Homo-oligomer: A and B are copies of this chain.
Amino acid sequence: MFERDAALRVLTPEQEEAIHEQAMRILEEIGTDVKHDRARTLLSEAGLKVEDERVHWDRGFVMEQVAKAPPSFRLRGRNPERSLTIGGASGSPAWMNVGGPPFASDLDEGRRSGRMADHDRFVQLTQAAGVLNCVQVGAVEATDLQMESRHMDMEYSAIRYSDKPCTTYGTSGPRARDGIRMAEIVHGGREAIEAEAALMGIVNPNSPLIWDFRMTDALMVWAEANQPVVVTPFLLAGATSAVSVSGGLAQQVAEALSGVALAQLVREGVPCLYGSFFTVTDMRTGSPAFGTPESVLGVLAGSQLARRYGLPFRGGGGLASSPAVDAQAAAESQMMLWATNLAATDVVLHAAGWLEGGLCASFEKFALDVELLGQFQLQAKGIGFTAEEMAFDALQEVGPGGLFLSSPHTRAHFKEWLYMSPLFTTPDFATWETMGSETTEVAANKAWKRLLETYEDPGLDPSIDEELKAYMASRRDAPDLFAED
């Protein structure tokens, strides 16, 4: 029920066209600032009008470039059996853990600044979770390590503790290069990762309409190496975009497509994704609000627009604003996960563990989200129609007024056919109260520990391990590490 062909469409063809038309006007008439000399030179040489830092993007050029991006691509896992096809009719959605929060939390230790050990544990949980097939580097910021070099430690964590495909940390050109170099070490050199991509780089323009130096630099480094670029405008209606959904969508198209066009100019055919991270500003607090009606519509419309441009779609996730793993957190996440599934999203960052508007990576929230993702997978399987499932004979045998509870048919099949959630239970109230009135948060604490116990270390070739460590050591000693990017 979440097939690509059945993806919910919330824009009429006329509305889709209106957004496209306005995006083209934004690019041509307003333009974007591009704070990167080499990028501006490339764009100018391609015939675009450039005035100081302002680039006016001709629509013909943009659409021509966008058309060069492939509709799908392969992303390799360290274990080739875990490699993914992303996008297109034959692709599978990539589901990932949360990324980016400065804080981590669990019921045992409470909320604290993120540590390397927390990062490792999130990677291990992601490796162990069957519903996640990709690792987001930077699950939580390892604030206990030196800022200048910890991006490499987090890359290493994803490589060492998981053999699933992964993203990369890179928030600047030099960091992007480190991620690529480490991927080369793992996957057998530059040629290998250029032939089949080994990481995905996430790029956020500085909205509205600024391509700043660091992100542009990272984008170009990934494009040069033929690594997929996820161009994701981070739009908060009322802060970084206009206070309306249609206005935000037009800006999203303008920003996303200009990023894709630049990437194609750097290297024709590099995989690029249309990314959507759109929600509203809670004007009472100035914070983003997640799971709102506007963001549900934003994910669905974003997916529709990405398909219009023939690009794989990144969006959605288990996003929530709530500071606790409570009813609000679950309600918000469900809004987003339903939209994500109904949009047939190709790449889902932050599918598990996101709490507190993305400021906190919660282990209990991770367990809750993994449970929900599993339920969506079962829904997607649909209804079985074998003769045994149709069960005419079983009904005839039980007959009017009979009981299925003890019937041979029920006993033969209930374990295989019925879903009994390990996290959600159905105790009678008196028993539940006697047992300590356990809420979901407490049950989730047990659930992620159970999951962690199933973690199997995929191991890492000692020579690769050594080479990675040597590279990281050499970079830590490099004189340019502390230089301004």
List residues of A whose CB falls within 8 A of some B CB.
Answer: 1, 6, 8, 10-11, 15, 18, 22, 25-26, 29-33, 54, 103, 111, 206, 208-210, 237-247, 249-251, 280-289, 291-294, 296-297, 300-301, 321-335, 338, 342, 356-357, 359-360, 368, 371-372, 375-376, 378-379, 381-385, 388-392, 394-396, 398-405, 409-410, 413-414, 417-421, 423-429, 432-433, 437, 439-441, 443-444
Complex alpha-carbon distance, A342 and B321, angstroms: 25
**Whole-angstrom CA separation of A8 from B281 in the bound complex:** 31
A395-B208 contact, Cβ under 8 Å, with A245-B383, A404-B243: yes
A326 near B392 with CB under 8 A, answer no
Other-chain residue from B11, B54, B283, B342 in contact with A414 (beta carbon distance below 8 A): B283
A424 in contact with B238 given A1-B8, A405-B281 (CB within 8 Å): no
Per a CB cutoff under 8 Å, which of B206, B246, B301, B335 touches A334? B335
* CB pair A359 B429 closer than 8 Å: yes
User: Which of B325, B378, B428 is close to A293, meaning CB atoms less than 8 Å apart?
Assistant: B378
Are B427 and A285 touching (Cβ within 8 A)?
yes
- The answer on a CB contact under 8 Å between A440 and B378 is no
A sample of 8 cross-chain residue pairs with beta-carbon separation below 8 angstroms, ordered by A number, consists of: A6-B8, A15-B383, A238-B410, A283-B414, A294-B419, A323-B432, A327-B330, A330-B331
Nearest-CB distance from A388 to chain B (Å)?
8
**Shortest beta-carbon distance from A92 to chain B in Å:** 19
> Once the chains bind, are B440 and A244 in contact (CB under 8 Å)?
no
Q: Out of B18, B22, B245, B282, which one reaches A420, CB within 8 Å?
A: B282
- Give A282 Cβ to nearest chain B Cβ, in Å: 4
Residues of B close to A284: CB separation below 8 A: 420, 425-426
Chain B residues lying within 8 Å of A246, measured Cβ to Cβ, are 383-385, 389-391
Instruction: Kindly report which residue of chain B lies nearest to residue A423, judged by CB atoms.
Output: B328
Are A247 and B395 in contact (CB-based, < 8 A)? yes
User: Given contacts A244-B417, A284-B420, is CB(A405)–CB(B322) below 8 Å?
Assistant: no
Do B440 and A239 touch (CB < 8 A)? no
Q: Which residues of B contact A31 (CB under 8 A)?
A: 400
Chain B residue numbers with a CB within 8 Å of A18 are 385, 390
Docked pose: A399 CA to B241 CA in angstroms: 10
Contact of A437 among B291, B324, B410 (CB under 8 A): B324
Q: How far is the CB of A130 from chain B (nearest CB, A)?
A: 15
How far in angstroms is the closest Cβ of chain B from A338?
5
Scoring A22, A249, A297, A382 by chain B CB atoms within 10 A of each residue's CB, the highest score goes to A382
Q: Is the CB of B419 within 8 A of A208?
A: no
